[in-house]
Structure 1
């Protein structure tokens, strides 16, 4: 059917001529001669229109949706295609089948490529862990027969708590510098057998004698366990675990030393310590994968220590029974010797510790002076028994008055300022806990002083 265009009646001849020309498809010869033969022949002023038109056509044709649909259906079709291929392997002959299997095997992980499987790998895992323990024991300068592997220092403390048989009314002595999770575990244990936790109050600036006296003053006839930090997490200081352990041993009281921060930061942290059980993290200054810690036990308590997960090695002696714990991921344990060895080969641990300590001093100086200039108060902190690589800087009043506020400040600094930093609280005062490692530089602390301290000042004023 032919439809008449509106207005055609008044301009019949003219419209007919136009219609005749329109019936000839394509441009005329003159236009074709002027047309560019390649994109490079286009004048510069035409490129804007070309790009605009391309984008419009891209949207009009819904190419993003078509690409997504193609990808979606392509992935869905992949697995049926593989099933069909596998079904055909038995039909096309053994030579072709073997060639395909050989190619697949080249892409397989080591265990599968060598003809091994998880059924072969996991029964041999205890032997691999035992070998790793030998290397880690050498790093800590202890006997491999005294060392077991646990996920973290808190887990090590839980192993000790589970091993104790305590009388009703017994007491556990901790300090007010203790790590929160370890102290909470002691409190739970005390509640379970009708005992109590006694907290030794150690002033932040206490020297060795004052710290020793404060802890020993809490020991008594009812004391069943002493839990003391070698390096405190919240306050970045040492406690005299050597003297405290010796006195507790003289009284027949077991001692648990929480050395979470000691491996790598202290040279031979167990050399002079008197303890029944020591536990320390290898994933802090040791740079092992997260979830790697050592549990070192001596004396009668060691044979009562069992892993938190009972498995088929439960009847084995300590520490062998810790090497087999069902489906626990032992990757971090196996990798720990490599992490420690990397630092030794690259820098050497003595040089690394010197660098960390010097850098922590510089960081505390540059950040502390900036905070002092902001508040008009001295922000330096005397911790009595300092440790290498860690320092405290007092925060402006109004920040991090307790642990909850300190954690909230850490999160806010990370989210709003883009900086990972540690904030702690002790006796109602907030502190920034500085740490240094070989991957840190002076610029890290200079940046915090210049960019972040002013923000802390505003937040302290409620802005």
Structure 2
């Protein structure tokens, strides 16, 4: 790709007083933060709200904890409105993996104990499925979905693994390692026709998709509000519909255990639930400052620009990645050969880039190939990606050549 093919950079977002959007966050200015998708970033207004809530909790814990279930229920109502679901379907959990664990804990074997996952699944969630299959005396079947697979191909790859022995399907709405969508709507509809429960891992969906549950057929859906929604970490939604939801219980048994779903999740001993209560503040901040549609538009244009400007500096011809069902705000750039071919290698590369180049970036692997995963947010600017292209791409090339040279010398 030549420099002339790079699209025009979107104008950076600003606050109402003209300051850069990043001024509303407490991110270290000595680092470039290009990995919002992994752990999110909490705006100052939500941090301050959570700090006030914690101070209130510590001033009068005997007043705080008995009143907490009612306050969590009110927060659930606000968060359900953001996700466009009924508050009576939504429970709050610490993260999407916790939501999956709640489901795994509740389900019983009804057929042959087989669980269908995909090779794009989030590792921790897939490991939970494997533990459940062992407990059932069954097995996990993995649907192989090529990175470039379109909607039809991805659907057919997953459905081909369904069988009379299938007791559960676990499928990502947006994949973490490969930044693509999977056709959860069609997969869910077919699984429902066959009487197979479906768990949708929507970890990246809240905030990135306007209405992630609008057209989905599922029994369980779980998604993080602390990623794209910028809520304090430890805030996620578990949405359940149908008769199986009555079997769902929080991972901590407490005095709300006899309450119906989802109320029983609102009382879990002495957990610090201030993240739940401050989450609406983060969502409202983005909406009032730019609006969520504008934020999504900017993130998508910026991710596209970032992928192009970085890809233009890479010397290998295949840096551009064909993702069959792309998502807004996230892009993949293929790394030079030798970099990040496994998850462990990708994690080590992430740490090295942060330590030596002062950039927080996400590196992933799929099918033995390493990728840079871009995940833009409103506080990012085109200059962030131009910096990566100028300062980091040459270093990545040198590291890749060093690895190749060492392998040749063996």
Give the alignment's TM-score, normalised by structure 2. Answer: 0.84
Equivalence map 1:40-439=2 (5 Å): 117-167=60-110, 169-371=112-314, 374-375=315-316, 377-439=317-379
Report the alpha carbon displacement of residue 453 of structure 1 after superposing the two structures with TM: 0.5
Gaps of 5+ in 2: 1-54, 404-410
Question: What is residue 44 of structure 1 aligned with on the other side?
Answer: none
For 1:163 and 1:423, how far apart are their aligned partners in 2? Answer: 34
> Does the C-alpha gap of structure 1 residues 110 and 151 become closer, same or farther in structure 2, counting only changes over 3 Å?
closer
> Does the C-alpha gap of structure 1 residues 138 and 168 become closer, same or farther in structure 2, counting only changes over 3 Å?
closer
Equivalence map 1:437-452=2 (5 Å): 437-452=377-392
Report the alpha carbon displacement of residue 228 of structure 1 after superposing the two structures with TM: 0.3
Report the alpha carbon displacement of residue 415 of structure 1 after superposing the two structures with TM: 0.6
For 2:161 and 2:185, how far apart are their aligned partners in 1? Answer: 17
Q: 1:453 aligns with which of 393, 397, 400?
A: 393
Report the alpha carbon displacement of residue 270 of structure 1 after superposing the two structures with TM: 0.3
Conserved? CA contact 1:402–1:428, under 8 Å: yes
After superposition, what is the alpha-carbon deviation per residue over 1:337-359, rounded to whole angstroms, capped at 9, x for unaligned? Answer: 11000000000000000000000
Gaps of 5+ in 1: 1-108
After superposition, what is the alpha-carbon deviation per residue over 1:132-186, rounded to whole angstroms, capped at 9, x for unaligned? Answer: 0000000000000000000000000000000011158410000000000000000
Conserved? CA contact 1:168–1:195, under 8 Å: no
For 1:162 and 1:135, how far apart are their aligned partners in 2? Answer: 27
Show structure 1 runs of 4+ deviating over 2 A. Answer: 109-112
For 1:166 and 1:188, how far apart are their aligned partners in 2? Answer: 13
Conserved? CA contact 1:168–1:193, under 8 Å: no
For 2:178 and 2:331, how far apart are their aligned partners in 1? Answer: 8
> Does the C-alpha gap of structure 1 residues 449 and 119 become closer, same or farther in structure 2, counting only changes over 3 Å?
same
SS of equivalent residue, structure 2 residue 390: helix
After superposition, what is the alpha-carbon deviation per residue over 1:271-301, rounded to whole angstroms, capped at 9, x for unaligned? Answer: 0000000000000000001111000000011
Report the alpha carbon displacement of residue 121 of structure 1 after superposing the two structures with TM: 1.2
> Does the C-alpha gap of structure 1 residues 279 and 111 become closer, same or farther in structure 2, counting only changes over 3 Å?
closer
Greater relative contact order, per chain length (Cα 8 Å cut-off, separation 6+) = 2
> What CA RMSD, in Å, does the superposition of the two structures yield over aligned residues?
1.2
Question: What is residue 52 of structure 1 aligned with on the other side?
Answer: none
For 1:211 and 1:179, how far apart are their aligned partners in 2? Answer: 17
Report the alpha carbon displacement of residue 440 of structure 1 after superposing the two structures with TM: 0.2
For 2:111 and 2:146, how far apart are their aligned partners in 1? Answer: 31
Report the alpha carbon displacement of residue 117 of structure 1 after superposing the two structures with TM: 2.1
Report the alpha carbon displacement of residue 378 of structure 1 after superposing the two structures with TM: 2.4
After superposition, what is the alpha-carbon deviation per residue over 1:37-91, rounded to whole angstroms, capped at 9, x for unaligned? Answer: xxxxxxxxxxxxxxxxxxxxxxxxxxxxxxxxxxxxxxxxxxxxxxxxxxxxxxx
Give the alignment's TM-score, normalised by structure 1. Answer: 0.74
Conserved? CA contact 2:111–2:165, under 8 Å: no
Report the alpha carbon displacement of residue 407 of structure 1 after superposing the two structures with TM: 0.4
Conserved? CA contact 2:111–2:167, under 8 Å: no
In terms of Rg, which structure is larger? 1
Report the alpha carbon displacement of residue 224 of structure 1 after superposing the two structures with TM: 0.2
For 1:193 and 1:311, how far apart are their aligned partners in 2? Answer: 27
SS of equivalent residue, structure 2 residue 360: coil
In the alignment of these two chains, the number of paired residues is 349
The answer to which structure has the higher helix fraction is 1
